[in-house]
Structure 1
Amino acid sequence: MSTSAQGPTSDESLTPVRWGVLGASNFALTVSLPGMKRGPLTQLAALASRDIGKARDAARSLGIPKAYGSYDELLDDPEIDAVYNPLPNHLHVTWTARAARAGKHVLCEKPIALSAKDAEALVDVQRETGKLIAEAFMIRNHPQWQQARDWVRGGQIGDLVSVQAAFSYFNRDATNIRNKKEVGGGALYDIGCYAVNTSRFLFGREPVRAIALVERDPEFGTDRVTSGLVDYGGAHLTFTCSTQAVAYQRVNALGTRGRLEIEIPFNAPADRPCKVFLDDGSTLNCSSARVTSFPTVDQYHLQSEAFSRAIRTGSPVENSIEVAVDNMRVIDALFRSVESGRWERL
């Protein structure tokens, strides 16, 4: 059985938000920015790099009118309303704070910080400046995740007792920032954070304790395989993430009367529909699963439009800075447990 679900639409009567982009990473140029530039509320107005030639090339490739040879030049531009920060992880807090203090709203890539303490500093910055700061977990804006949450909250699978997540890819490039420990590389920061975030999204509450097991790369020092168990008080998240395993991702949510399975939970394709399976468990070969197919959307487009709309209307965002701090508290506890060898309370 197959059904369809529609994504949210934009209010085109609102004035577009003029965005500036910090950096010219391959991820931003090929994944997030092409989606962002499609939105009527999201106007990509400027891009900055420490290399002006790189900034000009990147801006030209995306049709962005302004290019700057430093991040500060972009922040000094009075025509920029909001900043997208996809810089390396260790630069997230510093440049998010500087952007907000320069009068810009900020959407910062995940993880927003390398510790909850550092993330908490951005709560103070938001309070000080009055500017909106959010963490870019684009998945929360995708209709498949919003439908999954609605099913869980509506009791479609009974009581949610377990979320099981896997996320992996293979990358042993020593020059890649994901393999550099000093800048916040490693599996948990890069992709394990998705398992934590989405389990909190589905459970609708915060966990009480966590424990993890890590296998580190002998050359890089980063966690290349991390498995975790997070206790939600009578319900659990179990996950494995890896930067050195076959490319794979899947989320299963098990309830007392059914389960839901998200086929491509994190890197949802922008060029074809996504599927979620809702199964009452009456057959073990999954033939009893009902398939919901979601029309093709770009989750980065949806995310930037939602953030722009929040700027213009004051509507809430899915992953506010306060939500981001709580995500970092779980990640902190997982890393502490690796050192202590025991459960760590949040």
Structure 2
Amino acid sequence: MTGRLLNWGILGCAGIARKAMIPAITGSRNGRVAAVASRDAAKARAFADELGIARACGSYDELLRDPSVDVIYNPLPNHLHVPMTIAALAAGKPVLCEKPLGLSAAEVQLLQAAQRRFGLPVAEAFMVRFHPQWQAARDLLRSGRLGELRAIHTVFTYFNADPDNVRNRPELGGGGLYDVGCYAVNTARFLLEAEPEAAIGLFERDPAFGTDRLTSGLVSFPGGARLAFTCATQAALTQEALIIGTKGRLHIPVAFNPPPDMAATIVFDDCRDLIGTGREVITLPPADQYRLLAEAFADTVLGQAAALEDIASSISNMRALDALLRSATTGRWETL
């Protein structure tokens, strides 16, 4: 595959594929979208025509059997992440799968076993790690300017009360924790470069849907640092992160979906006072984090770069989500 563009196949007609990943792959230096699949052939054809994709498949299996497709992007509903990723591996295709990689650590371990058996790359699509603002945040931490990291606070909320939307259907793996709470845990692990030890969560469930519509959690890390987060599927659109150390703090105003065509800003404050005398605004160039993710995964498939985070990292993330969900029943801190 070295020296040519990878042909991507897209499983399903998800909104994230239409809005973010397909444009990202199309604009990437090492890939193109060759085919899309849906269980509804007419839907696949309309989706392909809308986005300028040459091939439309009327089943997932048809796409997986296509020898011209080199790599798969799996943005299907959460309950299909593991089974369809395993099916793609069995068909000889590497897979970039949307988050969460599975619905439990145990399920992701099944995928890990399959990945080892077939020996093909698999990665979870946490695009935020590729954006310069998060890399700059970690560089600041490593430099010591924030001192010892003590707390990370994140908020990721949006409003979606559509009963037919997959995010509001528990049997499909819907709910705020799976959809956006996973980002809080992942970015905390990225910044702390450590794995969580225990977690506790508070969940409010929609009485009609049964999914968590408002979730807050605490996650403890070695050395005493903690993540505190709120995620919601029925609240005003909000994204931000606050990173607090012993010498300063860092604010990321648009933490998870900064527009790809706009510069991003993060704000460091040495906390000499409460009126911002020690503020420093750091401006990062515009970046399409989805394109950077797609290029990095393609480089891995082409053998031109080291593998992205392995499935063991995804299992660690899922263990934290598992603990948060267990705590909803027990009402106490749950160890990982």
TM-score tier by shorter-chain length is over 0.9
Relative to structure 2, which stretch is displaced further, 14-23 or 133-142?
Answer: 14-23
User: Which residue identity lines up with residue 130 of structure 2 in the other structure?
Assistant: N
Give the match's secondary structure for 1:313. Answer: coil
Give 1:123-138 correspondences, 5 Å limit: 123-138=112-127
- Distance (Å, rounded) in 1 between the aligned partners of 2:304 and 2:215: 38
Matched, 1:224 2:225: no
Give the match's secondary structure for 1:194. Answer: helix
Instruction: Work out the percentage of aligned pairs sharing the same amino acid.
Output: 50
Residue 226 of structure 2 corresponds to which residue in structure 1? 236
- Distance (Å, rounded) in 1 between the aligned partners of 2:180 and 2:34: 29
- Distance (Å, rounded) in 1 between the aligned partners of 2:281 and 2:85: 40
| Equivalent pair of 2:154/2:240 in contact (CA under 8 Å) | yes
* CA-to-aligned-CA distance 1:121-145 (integer Å, 9 cap, x gap): 1111111011001100010111111
Matched, 1:315 2:312: no
| Equivalent pair of 2:300/2:308 in contact (CA under 8 Å) | no
- Distance (Å, rounded) in 1 between the aligned partners of 2:68 and 2:278: 55
- Distance (Å, rounded) in 2 between the aligned partners of 1:258 and 1:14: 46
| Equivalent pair of 1:137/1:319 in contact (CA under 8 Å) | no
- Distance (Å, rounded) in 1 between the aligned partners of 2:276 and 2:299: 40
Residue 287 of structure 2 corresponds to which residue in structure 1? 297
User: Which residue identity lines up with residue 319 of structure 1 in the other structure?
Assistant: E
Give the match's secondary structure for 2:266. Answer: strand
| Equivalent pair of 1:88/1:183 in contact (CA under 8 Å) | yes
How far did residue 287 of structure 1 move? 4.4
Matched, 1:271 2:261: yes
| Equivalent pair of 2:39/2:58 in contact (CA under 8 Å) | yes
Unaligned runs of 5+ in 2: none
Residue 142 of structure 2 corresponds to which residue in structure 1? 153
Residue 9 of structure 1 corresponds to which residue in structure 2? none
Give the match's secondary structure for 2:138. Answer: helix
How far did residue 37 of structure 1 move? 1.1
The 1:287–1:14 alpha-carbon spacing in structure 2 relative to 1, beyond 3 Å, is farther
* CA-to-aligned-CA distance 1:128-178 (integer Å, 9 cap, x gap): 011001100010111111111111122121111111111101111111111
How far did residue 222 of structure 1 move? 0.7
Matched, 1:81 2:70: yes
* CA-to-aligned-CA distance 1:95-144 (integer Å, 9 cap, x gap): 00000110000000000100000001111111101100110001011111
How far did residue 23 of structure 1 move? 0.4
RMSD: 1.2
Residue 47 of structure 1 corresponds to which residue in structure 2? 36
How far did residue 207 of structure 1 move? 1.1
The 1:239–1:266 alpha-carbon spacing in structure 2 relative to 1, beyond 3 Å, is same
- Distance (Å, rounded) in 2 between the aligned partners of 1:299 and 1:129: 28
User: Which residue identity lines up with residue 150 of structure 2 in the other structure?
Assistant: V
| Equivalent pair of 1:140/1:318 in contact (CA under 8 Å) | no
| Equivalent pair of 1:141/1:318 in contact (CA under 8 Å) | no
Residue 20 of structure 1 corresponds to which residue in structure 2? 9
How far did residue 78 of structure 1 move? 1.1
Residue 87 of structure 2 corresponds to which residue in structure 1? 98
Could you tell me which of 252, 259, 266 is aligned with 1:262? Answer: 252
The 1:228–1:16 alpha-carbon spacing in structure 2 relative to 1, beyond 3 Å, is same
The 1:254–1:14 alpha-carbon spacing in structure 2 relative to 1, beyond 3 Å, is farther
Could you tell me which of 321, 325, 336 is aligned with 1:335? Answer: 325
TM-score of the superposed pair, with normalisation by structure 1: 0.94
Give the match's secondary structure for 1:156. Answer: coil
Q: How many residues were matched structurally? A: 334
Residue 201 of structure 2 corresponds to which residue in structure 1? 212
TM-score of the superposed pair, with normalisation by structure 2: 0.97
- Distance (Å, rounded) in 1 between the aligned partners of 2:202 and 2:248: 29
How far did residue 318 of structure 1 move? 4.0
Matched, 1:191 2:190: no
- Distance (Å, rounded) in 2 between the aligned partners of 1:270 and 1:51: 32
| Equivalent pair of 2:158/2:232 in contact (CA under 8 Å) | yes
- Distance (Å, rounded) in 1 between the aligned partners of 2:280 and 2:323: 37
Give the match's secondary structure for 2:302. Answer: helix
User: Which residue identity lines up with residue 8 of structure 2 in the other structure?
Assistant: W
Give the match's secondary structure for 1:33. Answer: helix
How far did residue 343 of structure 1 move? 0.7
Matched, 1:71 2:70: no
Matched, 1:176 2:154: no
Aligned structure 1 segments of 4 or more residues deviating by more than 4 angstroms:
none
Give the match's secondary structure for 2:62. Answer: helix
Residue 282 of structure 1 corresponds to which residue in structure 2? 272
